[in-house]
Structure 1
């Protein structure tokens, strides 16, 4: 792959941007043509019920990313202005000091079987005695995982106290390989339910995975250049902004929303279950009993910002949406990720980059200046500007500091 540090990528026209992405990711002509249409109605109709059409969102490319020494162009699907540009600038600040170092742990996903009416004392012993049969039954659900040396690894029990009395919970821990894992884990939970009922004397009711994958984590860290952040004064303010997010839940929620701007944009582009990712991330932010920042920030002796992000991250490069959505498969190819772990490393790096960008904007000129400058094009278009007029109207409003529908209409009407 060529370098992801492409000067003035945002100034190039669409044809040149696509040419550069094709060159970087080794796309074929047929793959590049997918960027013109997304998915057909026939494809959408197979994916969901009662389909009536498709809904398009912008697909952008964040540049400058280096993840574990590998140059990466990062696809991002998001409707919010400034996110793609901000992530690219943040990656440039990290690139000076080697880019992002990221790691994903083994792809372990828990499945849960809720058991009602069991004798709690005897049930745990029954499960221990039947554990081999439970694991064998679960692994019979997927010959693919078994051949790869993956699959259900462990079965455990725990008691959960509730308002209606104690419940027994049987949990399978499954190595799902390069899949997100929902379908195979759910199938395993349903398959082992009869074995569990015989072993416990209770009734297996809920049989489903948990999206809170605390044993399937992704972590990224990077050193962001202090001079690119704006110097010692801005760096100090960024640290104080992080400290506020660490100790105030109201700030932490918006702080973590910025992290998700990066993570979910890449997840959306690559066909991941963004709802599961976001739910797990927010639960992880509250794992201490108090909701707090997902990221950690400090300042090194040279005045640079050192940041890290750790979160549960279940993603897949096989199966699920990636098997039926051609553009999602194409976006995975753009990242150069050859496994779910490598894709997780790209996603968590994008989340850390976006958090840096948000902290910097808040601590310097404020979040709205850059955001509204990019939003001006939407305002101009909504006011009725033609494609040839949009950039001129947007630039004039930004120059005047009056980005509003009223001013856009005035400029369109002329003197």
Structure 2
């Protein structure tokens, strides 16, 4: 076996590739150190902090990362207790949040204190689905319509083929099936259990496409057509939902709004209309909210979710109304891809954070989804209160954040 310096020299000269290092070392951990040594040559400096971690990178290499050189570190703060009256999440929870944005954990913590004062926020899962939408190329619009009709007539066969690939996935529907010129876009919609399910539904849809190809001779141009819609902002996902669709709401007596949020129900309602509804409309935004992405990102990073799905989790609508003199406040998240097993949830730090929430492992994803919805409500409520009271800039200044 070549020594570290020899391998790095070969990398610099382009004689071997980064993914080939293991074959020169025969040891995964040594390969990681060699690859980091090469990165230090590229950087012209020591990568001390990337090298300090407790994750089992050789294990992560099997499913979570390629060409590893180390890990990044993000501070994790704790907010709570968050009081929830959910179907699956009932009681109090302390929420781990991975972020480098000063004031965020403090803000969410303030929202959590409101949930405690009123005996808990309500939260429910409205829907649950994961999607994959291939694109099929035909010779003409006439042929495209024939394929569309074939798909609609043969749902049972496609369902059986798709579900033969998984113990947990179930094909609910293929809808819509859109024709654009000679292209056909069928959107396969599944349930996926405790897994977020993108890999699951991709494999299942591929199997279904084998049946379609064999029976019709159609050409599947790509297994993903962007109608899924995965990791992109989308009106379709806002309306139809993807992942978990979650709504949380709370009624806050006027005196608690005044005491905890230092403002009034009327002021929060007015800011919500002007900012989240009208302001979002004139900006052409898809989400009508103040900061869902902040809470989603911090929770996703802490618990090993796919961070790219933050763009989907940022969709949603906040409502604020004065009801009998009190504040009615709600958040609706139509597009929340989540998992408590598989993917990044396998990483040791993610397991720690999932354990804090009590949602690690099978059978816990619905509870997790309700906690995420409650956390978004707490953070959104706190920010809207700060805006209504004129405290946003002061809070950031006092916490030393620009």
Which bracket does the TM-score occupy, shorter chain normalised? 0.7 to 0.9
What is the alpha-carbon distance in structure 2 between the residues aligned to residue 362 and residue 368 of structure 1? 9
Equivalent residue for 2:374?
349
Mapped pair 1:124 → 2:152 = no
156 and 279 in structure 1: CA distance in 2 versus 1, 3 angstrom threshold = closer
Contact (CA 8 Å) 1:264, 1:274: kept in 2 or not?
Answer: yes
Secondary structure at the aligned position of 2:400 is classed as: helix
Residue pairs, 1:166-315, within 5 angstroms: 166-208=182-224, 209-211=228-230, 212=237, 214=241, 216-230=244-258, 234-244=264-274, 245-249=276-280, 256=289, 258-279=291-312, 281-282=314-315, 285=316, 294-315=317-338
Secondary structure at the aligned position of 1:177 is classed as: coil
What is the alpha-carbon distance in structure 2 between the residues aligned to residue 301 and residue 38 of structure 1? 53
Gaps of 5+ in 2: 1-51, 231-236
328 and 108 in structure 1: CA distance in 2 versus 1, 3 angstrom threshold = same
Secondary structure at the aligned position of 1:356 is classed as: helix
Equivalent residue for 2:78?
61
What is the alpha-carbon distance in structure 2 between the residues aligned to residue 336 and residue 303 of structure 1? 33
Contact (CA 8 Å) 2:265, 2:325: kept in 1 or not?
Answer: no
Equivalent residue for 1:322?
345
What is the alpha-carbon distance in structure 1 between the residues aligned to residue 392 and residue 70 of structure 2? 35
What is the alpha-carbon distance in structure 1 between the residues aligned to residue 284 and residue 95 of structure 2? 26
In the TM superposition, residue 342 of structure 1 has moved relative to its aligned partner by: 1.1
Contact (CA 8 Å) 2:127, 2:246: kept in 1 or not?
Answer: no
Gaps of 5+ in 1: 1-35, 286-293, 377-402, 404-415
What is the alpha-carbon distance in structure 2 between the residues aligned to residue 66 and residue 96 of structure 1? 9
In the TM superposition, residue 170 of structure 1 has moved relative to its aligned partner by: 2.1
Residue pairs, 1:84-95, within 5 angstroms: 84-95=105-116
- Normalised TM-score (structure 1): 0.71
What is the alpha-carbon distance in structure 2 between the residues aligned to residue 154 and residue 233 of structure 1? 47
Residue pairs, 1:134-173, within 5 angstroms: 134-142=158-166, 144-145=167-168, 150-156=169-175, 158-161=177-180, 165-173=181-189
What is the alpha-carbon distance in structure 1 between the residues aligned to residue 176 and residue 395 of structure 2? 52
Secondary structure at the aligned position of 1:173 is classed as: strand
228 and 260 in structure 1: CA distance in 2 versus 1, 3 angstrom threshold = farther
Larger helix proportion of the pair: 1
| Runs of at least 4 residues off by over 4 Å | 43-46, 250-255
Mapped pair 1:331 → 2:353 = yes
Equivalent residue for 1:72?
93
What is the alpha-carbon distance in structure 2 between the residues aligned to residue 370 and residue 251 of structure 1? 26
- Normalised TM-score (structure 2): 0.73
Question: For each residue in 1:182-210, what CA deviation from the matched residue of structure 2 results, as whole angstroms up to 9, or x when unmatched?
Answer: 11001112222221223443211221454
Contact (CA 8 Å) 2:79, 2:109: kept in 1 or not?
Answer: yes
In the TM superposition, residue 263 of structure 1 has moved relative to its aligned partner by: 2.2
Count of equivalent residues? 323
Question: For each residue in 1:357-406, what CA deviation from the matched residue of structure 2 results, as whole angstroms up to 9, or x when unmatched?
Answer: 11111222431211222226xxxxxxxxxxxxxxxxxxxxxxxxxx9xxx
